[in-house]
Amino acid sequence: MVTYYLTRLLVTLVAIPWHEAGHALASLLLGDPTARRHGRLSLNPLRHFDLLGTLCMVVAGVGWAKPVPTDVRRFKNPKVGMALTALAGPAANLILAYLSMTVWKLVYYWAPDTLAVEYLLFFLQYMVMMNVGLAVFNLIPVPPLDGSRVLLVFLPQRVYFGVMRYEKEILAILLAVVWFGALNGPLNAASDWVWDLLYAGTGWVDNLAYTAFYLSLGTRV
């Protein structure tokens, strides 16, 4: 149990900064240096740390970090810039999940079978799971999640900002719904689908391992 929660904490300290740094990098590339000026273009967990959000992430699997500051006036197209900056967080998590699954397979096929390697495999597997979960959850189009920022592209500003006035209340309701398991079915189905895509996308590692195995059989003969 201690190992499980320690792993969750370590993965959280990697996944959350990666997510927030994704927002900051996208914002910078789109013309807004506000996040960088506030020190948020960083993988240092302390730059993004929110105590309650981190504890919720470790204990319940759902949490949050300090919001990345943006100045939409600096975007050439504020609506599109805001949407792309928001989507960059989940995209960053998916990239990290892909990299983690790649390393996981490489370690699985070629690392020696030791206790340390077993823990590393567990850590990498959980890294994939949490990053996929973060990406899927944040794409829900409900304020204040990243997916809701995309709605600004399609909704009138008056309607959008009228809804955003209640984002704290909506977040509290959403977290309660998630903690009580009401969204487990859809979220698990979406996460499983993304996992399958990542597994297929890292199939080149499997092919490499099988080729190396068959080549080794040939050399033995």
Distance set, CA 59 to CA 3, 12, 51, 128 (Å): 13, 11, 12, 18
**Could you give the residue numbers annotated as active site?**
20
Which own/partner pairs from 40-45 qualify as long-range (CB within 8 Å, at least 24 positions apart)? 40/68, 40/69, 42/17, 43/14, 43/17, 43/18, 44/17, 45/13, 45/16, 45/17
Taking the C-alpha atoms of residue 195 and residue 29, their distance in angstroms, rounded to an integer, is 29
Provide the angle, in degrees to the nearest 10, between the axes of the packed helices 2-29 and 78-110. Answer: 140
